Every structure is written in C-alpha cells, then in structure tokens.
A = this chain, B = another copy of it.
Amino acid sequence: MFSKSAEYALRAVIYIAQNDTESKKLGLAEIAKAIDSPKSFTAKILQILTAENKIISSVRGPNGGFYITEKSKQLPVRKVLEVMGEGGVLDKCVLGLAKCSETKPCPMHAQYKLIKKQLITLFETKTIKNLADEMRKGDVFINNRLK
C-alpha cells in the first residue's frame, strides 16, 4: 500500500513517540534496530521528518538523537504520510485513474469509496500519540523479531 519510505517513517515516528524516558533522545542506530529498517536509509527518512514539516526534532552531538514534542504527538498519522509525499495514496482511484470521480466513476469506484473513506478516517483520526500509547502499554509491536 505504501512505499518502504512511508512504512519506515510511520514505524520510526511511532517508536520515537513511544519513548517516554523523559529527555532521553533516541539515536539513529537504536531506532533503525528497533523498527527493522536499514540504518542509512532510515537516517534519510528521519532527516525528512525532522526538516520539512517538523514532525520530529533532533539534536546533534553526544547524547543527541531524535524526539517528538507533545504537540507533534497530537498530529494525525496521515501527516506522516503527507510529509513523506504519500498523502495522496489514500485518495487515489484503485485503478489509477486521475479522472475517476463521483460523476465519472471507474468500475470499482462505488464499492471502493466506502473503504477509502474508512481508510482516510482511520489515518486522520488516529494520532501519533494514540499509537504510541498502545505500544507503551505493550499490547502492540513494531518490529519483525519474534521475541
């Protein structure tokens, strides 16, 4: 559904948000390991998330790393997709038609629009904090390792 970049971005943001060892920032190495993503590539993604529209923040130097403000935690998950340039995926026609619309629907439109709506709602109502909290509780996970 999403690109690897977007997937890594979502995982990284959730992982960073879930860290509540107050004031302890998370380093690239730790993040990449935690979310099972290639380190250097993850660095690029974190760079985008830090720059562009400032979802996360960073500090360089010893004990530096990434963190997210309480304010940013209130952002809907969709914001992460947007910053990664994939906000549109949720709006797109399943058949890839630019002109697909209510007045000129594709053969899948009528049925898919109901699903699309839920998808959009999900990504717009769930906040980064919501997901991070779930994870902190220990009910959900974000890596591919078994234990």
Contact = CB atoms under 8 A, between A and B. Distances in A.
User: How many chain copies does the complex carry?
Assistant: 2
A92 interface: yes
Nearest to A118: B115
A97 to B, nearest CB: 6
Interface residues of A, number: 46
A101 to B, nearest CB: 10
Contact of A142 (B97, B118, B122, B131): B97
Interface residues of chain A: helix, strand, loop or mixed (majority): loop
Contacts of A41: none
A111 B105 CA distance: 27
A29 interface: no
Nearest to A36: B97
Contacts of A98: 144
A142 B106 contact: yes
Interface stretch (A2-10, A44-52, A65-73): A2-10
